[in-house]
Amino acid sequence: MDFLDLDRLLSEEERLIRDTTRSFVADKVLPEIAGWFERGHFPRELAKELGDLGLLGMHLEGYGCAGTNAVSYGLACLELEAGDSGFRSFVSVQGSLAMFPIWRFGSEEQKRRWLPPMAAGEVVGCFGLTEPDFGSNPAGMRTSARRDGGDWVLDGTKMWITNGGIADLAVVWARAEDGVRGFLVPTDTPGFSARDIDRKLSLRASVTSELVLDGCRLPGDAVLPDVQGMRGPLSCLNEARYGIVWGAMGAARACFASALEYATTRVQFDRPIGGFQLTQQKLADMLVELSKGTLLALHLGRMKDDGRLTAEQVSLGKLNNVREALAIARAARTILGANGVTLEYPVIRHANNLESVLTYEGTSEVHSLVLGQALTGLSAFQ
Ligand SMILES: Cc1cc2nc3c(=O)[nH]c(=O)nc-3n(C[C@H](O)[C@H](O)[C@H](O)COP(=O)(O)OP(=O)(O)OC[C@H]3O[C@@H](n4cnc5c(N)ncnc54)[C@H](O)[C@@H]3O)c2cc1C
Distance from C-alpha of 367 to C-alpha of 66, rounded to nearest angstrom = 30
Nearest CA to ligand 1 atom 43: 365
Residue nearest to atom 25 of ligand 1 (CA): 135
Q: Which of 208, 207, 205, 198 is nearest to 251 (CA)?
A: 205
Q: Give pLDDT < 70 ranges for the chain.
A: none
Is any atom of ligand 1 closer than 6 Å to the C-beta of 159?
no
Q: What is the pLDDT, as a whole number, of residue 127?
A: 98
Q: Give the pLDDT score at 1.
A: 80
Active site residue 108: no
Residue 366 Cα to ligand 1 middle (Å):
9
66, exposed or middle or buried, with CB in 10 Å at 0-12, 13-18, 19+?
buried
The pick from 127, 230, 359 for probing ligand 1's pocket by mutation, whose C-beta has the most ligand atoms within 8 angstroms, reads 359
Question: Angle 111-119-296 (CA atoms, 0-180°, nearest 5)?
Answer: 105
**Residues 184, 189, 190, 193: what is their CA dihedral angle, to the nearest 10 degrees?**
80
pLDDT of 103 = 98
Could you tell me if the CB of 127 is within 6 A of ligand 1? yes
pLDDT of residue 165: 98
**d(Cα 130, Cα 150) in Å, to the nearest integer?**
27
Kindly give, in sequence order, each residue whose CB lies less than 8 Å from that of residue 326, ignoring residues fewer than 6 positions away.
351, 354, 355, 358
Judge residue 267's burial from the number of C-beta atoms within 10 Å of its C-beta, 0-12 exposed, 13-18 middle, 19 or more buried: exposed
Count of residues in the chain: 382
| CB of 160 shorter than 6 A to ligand 1 | yes
Query: Using a 6 Å cutoff on CB, does residue 107 contact ligand 1?
Result: no
pLDDT of residue 271: 98
pTM score of the predicted model: 0.98
Quick check: CB of 85 below 6 Å from ligand 1? no
- pLDDT for 190 equals 98
Would you call 250 helix, strand, or coil by DSSP? helix
The distance of Cα 28 from the centroid of its chain, to the nearest Å, equals 19
